[in-house]
């Protein structure tokens, strides 16, 4: 079975998710994984989908034309076999949260420190909260620590960055739940 990465981007409005998923349902697609968010005033959605017969973008024909007619950008990429599978990641799952005054470089500096320590970022979200006069930048990272690194060591490593950037950085364990 072929798998595809489908990305939808456009000005946010109610009903986008319903419109996208109706098209996929009517085509006979399965949604294996998905994520959507509002970034600024733009809606962004990425889905990993499969279809038992479709093998490439041309197989979908003009199925996504109604989305494009509603000012949404649609990108479809065929995945190589295995590209749809969740990787098995060894190590402790944690949440890294960063709060502070908005300034350039926060995401880069924190993710650089994590990358240098082989921390695998599995989810990252940022936003501004607070008022226009006193905006607060918030970054939330879900990550998997390599087996040789524990949460206490990571917190200690990020301590100097916390002082340098003048932000609050916390790391906490996430308990995984098996269903």
Domain boundaries defined on the chain? 2-78, 93-173
- What's the per-residue H, E or C state across 65-130? HHHHHCCCEEEEEECCCCCCCCCCCCCCEEEEEEEEECCCCHHHHHHHHHHHCCCEEEEEEEEEEE
Phi and psi at residue 46, to the nearest 5°: -130, 135
Q: Give the SS3 label for residue 6.
A: strand
CATH superfamily, domain at 2-78: ACT domain (3.30.70.260)
Per residue in 119-150, pLDDT (tens digit) is 999 899 999 888 888 889 999 999 999 999 99
Q: Which two tokens stand for residue 137?
A: 């930048």
Per residue in 77-110, pLDDT (tens digit) is 999 876 556 666 678 899 999 999 988 999 999 9
Asked, colleague to colleague, whether 2-78 and 93-173 share their fold, the answer is yes
Q: Which two tokens stand for residue 32?
A: 């294996």
CATH superfamily, domain at 93-173: ACT domain (3.30.70.260)
pTM of the model: 0.75
DSSP state of 53: S
Is the distance from CB of 168 to CB of 101 less than 8 angstroms?
no
DSSP state of 12: -
The set of residues, in sequence order, having a beta carbon less than 8 Å from that of 29 and lying 6+ positions away, is: 49, 50, 51, 54
Q: What percent of the chain has pLDDT over 70?
A: 93
Q: What is the pLDDT of residue 134?
A: 87
């Amino acid at each position: 079975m072929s798998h595809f990465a489908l990305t939808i981007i456009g000005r946010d409005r109610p009903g986008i998710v319903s419109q996208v998923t109706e098209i996929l349902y009517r085509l006979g697609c399965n949604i294996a994984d998905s994520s959507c968010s509002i970034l600024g005033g733009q809606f962004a959605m990425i889905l990993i989908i499969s279809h038992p017969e479709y093998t490439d973008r041309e197989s979908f024909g003009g199925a996504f034309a109604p989305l494009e007619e509603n000012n949404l950008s649609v990108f479809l990429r065929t995945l190589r076999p295995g590209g749809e599978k969740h990787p098995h990641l060894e190590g402790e799952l944690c949440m890294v949260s960063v709060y502070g005054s908005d300034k350039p470089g926060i995401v880069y500096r924190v993710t650089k420190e994590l990358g240098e320590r082989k921390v695998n970022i599995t989810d990252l979200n940022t936003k501004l909260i607070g008022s226009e006069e006193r905006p607060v930048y918030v970054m939330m990272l879900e990550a998997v620590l390599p087996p040789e690194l524990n949460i206490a060591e990571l917190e200690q490593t990020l301590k100097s960055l916390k002082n340098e950037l003048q932000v609050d950085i916390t790391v906490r364990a996430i308990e995984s739940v098996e269903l």
